[in-house]
């Protein structure tokens, strides 16, 4: 059962495998990975260059202008998703302005495609670093990484203490001092944040998500989810589930 939970969770976050069949809309997956700071997945998704990308709507009879328009769309949506993820508004827009000015000067399709990858990776790395912005010490950074990679398991203070080599009581105090949250509170918030993403972007049911994220019971999952969002998981999914690509060109 633990193995199945791990596999399902890994399928959702798309870390190591690509076995999940159509729970994500491809465009939503792409921008969600930027927002989440998933650098490895963005590198993988960007292996298909902008030049070779299938299904791009024709935005101009001039091929270079056509690519530039699509670049600007990607840049604008990446900025929007990163702002939703906590990136400072002025910073997101200044990055967007910088890359749009750069692409405007591009003279070849390859230059545009190369800049597209650099831009997407830049946003993604910034979002990854944003997660650790307030983290000072290596042990707490290791805790954060472990928690984010292990949300499909039951994570305890003792588990993190073994992972960092620190005394559980000392680790708990240090974690609270550096993050402003208790370890259990941080884990719970991360699981609820992930549950929100899964309810929005995947086809898993609330019961399946409760099991995948290793909540003690579905009733407990519903309770803490409602406390955090003001909605039941089912109501949240009904309101937020996305089945249509954002910004898709016809």
Q: Is the predicted pLDDT of residue 94 greater than 70, yes or no? A: yes
- Give yes or no for a contact between 236 and 229, defined as CB atoms under 8 angstroms apart: yes
Whether 155 and 123 have beta carbons less than 8 Å apart is answered as no
Mean pLDDT of the region 172-200: 91
pLDDT at 28: 75
Q: What tokens appear for 67 in the block?
A: 């690519």
Look at 13-27, 66-80, 173-187, 223-237 and tell me which has the smallest mean pLDDT: 13-27
In the chain, where the domains are located = 37-131, 138-240
Residues near 186 by beta carbon (within 8 Å), at least 6 away in sequence: 147, 175, 179
CA-based nearest residue to 27, from 7, 65, 56: 56
Does the pTM of the predicted model rise above 0.85? no
Q: Which of 82-86, 114-118, 184-188, 234-238 has the lowest mean pLDDT?
A: 82-86
pLDDT > 70: percent of the chain: 84
Overall average pLDDT of the 77-97 stretch: 90
Q: What is the DSSP string of 144-194?
A: HHHHHH-TTS---HHHHHHHHT--HHHHHHHHHHHHSS-HHHHHHHHHHHH
Model confidence at 20, in pLDDT bands (50, 70, 90)?
very low
- Which is more confident, 152 or 131? 152
Of 70, 82, 84, nearest to 124 by C-alpha is 82
For the segment 19-39, the average pLDDT, to the nearest whole number, is 68
Q: Say yes or no: domain 138-240 is CATH 1.20.1730.10.
A: no
66: how many CB neighbours lie within 10 A of its CB?
18
What per-residue confidence (pLDDT) applies to 10?
57
Smallest Cα–Cα separation from 91: which of 116, 123, 132? Answer: 123
pLDDT of residue 103: 94
Residue with tokens 């309770």: 223
């Amino acid at each position: 059962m633990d193995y199945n939970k791990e596999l399902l969770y890994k399928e959702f976050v798309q870390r190591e495998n690509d076995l999940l069949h159509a729970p994500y809309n491809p465009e939503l997956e792409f921008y969600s990975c930027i927002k989440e700071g998933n650098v490895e997945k963005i590198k993988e998704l960007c292996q298909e260059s902008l030049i070779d990308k299938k299904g791009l709507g024709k935005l101009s009879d001039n091929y270079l202008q056509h690519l530039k328009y699509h670049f600007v769309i990607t840049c604008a949506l990446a900025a929007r998703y990163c702002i939703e993820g906590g990136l400072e508004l002025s910073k997101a827009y200044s990055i967007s302005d910088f890359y749009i000015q750069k692409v405007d000067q591009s003279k070849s399709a390859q230059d545009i495609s190369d800049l597209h990858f650099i831009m997407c990776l830049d946003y993604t790395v910034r979002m990854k670093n944003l997660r650790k912005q307030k983290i000072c010490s290596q042990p707490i950074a290791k805790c954060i990484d472990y928690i984010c990679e292990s949300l499909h398991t039951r994570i305890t203070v003792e588990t993190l203490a073994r992972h960092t080599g620190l005394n559980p009581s000392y680790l708990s105090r240090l974690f609270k001092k550096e993050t402003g949250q208790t370890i259990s509170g941080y884990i719970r918030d991360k699981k609820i944040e992930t549950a929100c993403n899964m309810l929005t972007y995947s086809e898993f049911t609330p019961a399946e998500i409760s099991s995948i994220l290793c909540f003690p019971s579905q009733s407990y999952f519903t309770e803490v989810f409602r406390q955090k969002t003001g909605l039941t998981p089912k109501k949240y999914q009904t309101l937020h589930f996305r089945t249509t690509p954002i910004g898709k060109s016809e």
